[in-house]
Amino acid sequence: MSNSGMESLGPNSEFNETPLKIAIVGFGNFGQFIAKGIQRQGHVVLASSRSDYSDYCNENGIKFFKNLEGLCEEEPDIVLICSSILSTESVTLGIPFHKLKQDTIFADVLSVKEFPRNLFLDVLPPEFGIVCTHPMFGPDSGRHGWAGLPFVYDEVRILEGSTQAQKCAQFLSIFQKEGCRMVEMSCEEHDRYAAGTQFITHTIGRILSHLNLESTPINTNGFETLLHLTESTVSDSFDLYYGLFMYNVNAMEQIENLSRAFEAVKQKLFSRLHGILKKQIIERVSFQTSIPEEKPGSYFLPDNKKMKDFSSFAEPSEKTSKEQEDE
Ligand code: NAP
């Protein structure tokens, strides 16, 4: 079992083979999006899903099957699982494997990788090939094309030197020819990186969505980025976000890190504020024990006359000996 020979493919390498027949199982938001790239590369797309997408498929040159038996009887080269993370186990177990060819390749696009790899190894017939992938983009980030966008893959079980290996390379070349940045990586490594990047991004986007942020006439570039992040994360289903959490063993640690980081920032702010208030209270006490010349105003605010900007709120820094001399 080994690499299908992806590394030998230049960006413009041509296959003389017949187009692949790719069966997409789970034809929602992402399934439809990925089908467009597959079709652009001249391959045949079949689809099946819980919901009926017959009309969409008729309009887009795709054969739709209301049941998985019909889909499998077409003997696709690749079965590409595009269902939600949460439903993938039941969807995969519902596929009649015996109706498929012996060298069928199972692939997936799930945003977590260890889970589908283990599931496929566990339930698929041993002669089936397995390639786990994660296109690190979606209908929003990939709407103007896939050039330069990362595509992670792990050839988990592909029979070396076989037709299966050649078909696997042909499948991966779809993304390479679309201009994706191909990243070969183990499923474990993917999940470690993804928890610290994609899951954190989604979490921040979801948190921001609770603030009901609105565009203003004075948006900074940073704020525009936050607005866009909020919009793009909430346009993904909550099932997807929940899947990133539930099916990635590293996600819990990241949630805890995030929570600790927020507390650390609050602590830093409040401890400085506390320092200023404490100092003013002590000054006030010493003022009152001496004879006050005039009644002090609000002690929290700096003296109006001295206040030039908000830096007056900062704790006074140690004076240099030069400044002390000048006084
Ligand atoms: P999703 O909410 O994660 O998944 C929707 C798909 O799952 C639809 O095809 C839906 O079928 C199917 N589904 C949901 N519950 C089901 C159930 N109980 N039984 C059978 N099928 C069920 O949204 P998505 O954005 O389309 O993502 C699909 C997959 O692509 C996910 O695994 C996700 O991690 C991956 N992915 C998404 C993106 C992205 O940007 N959206 C990027 C990379 C990878 P029906 O439509 O027929 O109901």
pLDDT of the chain, 327 residues: tens digit per residue = 445 545 444 333 454 579 999 999 999 999 999 999 999 999 999 999 999 999 999 999 999 999 999 999 999 999 999 999 999 999 999 999 999 999 999 999 999 999 999 999 999 999 999 999 999 999 999 999 999 999 999 999 999 999 999 999 999 999 999 999 999 999 999 999 999 999 999 999 999 999 999 999 999 999 999 999 999 999 999 999 999 999 999 999 999 999 999 999 999 999 988 888 888 888 877 777 665 555 544 444 445 455 444 444 444 444 445 555 554
Q: Report the pLDDT value the prediction gives residue 95, as an integer from 0 to 100.
A: 98
- Alpha-carbon distance 122 to 217, whole Å? 55
Residue whose C-alpha is closest to residue 99's, from 122, 64, 131, 125: 125
CB neighbour list of residue 135: distance below 8 Å, 6 or more residues apart: 34, 109, 142, 146, 149, 151, 152, 175, 180
Cα–ligand 1 centroid distance for 302 (angstroms): 57
Total residues belonging to the chain = 327
**Ligand 1 atom at minimal distance to the Cα of residue 140:** 40
Q: What tokens does 209 get?
A: 């969505």
Cα–ligand 1 centroid distance for 26 (angstroms): 6
> What is the SS3 string spanning 239-297?
HHHHHHHHCCCCHHHHHHHHHHHHHHHHHHHHHHHHHHHHHHHHHHHHHHHCCCCCCCC
Cα–ligand 1 centroid distance for 274 (angstroms): 49
Cβ < 6 Å from ligand 1: which residues?
Answer: 26-31, 49-51, 82-85, 87, 91, 109-111, 135, 138, 236-237, 239-240, 243
Nearest residue by C-alpha to atom 18 in ligand 1: 87
Using CA atoms in the order 106, 109, 110, 114, what is the torsion angle rounded to 10 degrees?
A: 50
**Ligand 1 atom at minimal distance to the Cα of residue 112:** 34
Cα–ligand 1 centroid distance for 236 (angstroms): 9
Kindly report the pTM of this predicted structure: 0.84
- Quick one: how many helices (H) and strands (E) in the chain? 12, 8
Collapsed DSSP state (helix, strand, coil) of residue 162: coil
**Ligand 1 atom at minimal distance to the Cα of residue 137:** 42
Nearest residue by C-alpha to atom 39 in ligand 1: 138
Nearest residue by C-alpha to atom 3 in ligand 1: 84
Q: Report the pLDDT value the prediction gives residue 280, as an integer from 0 to 100.
A: 86
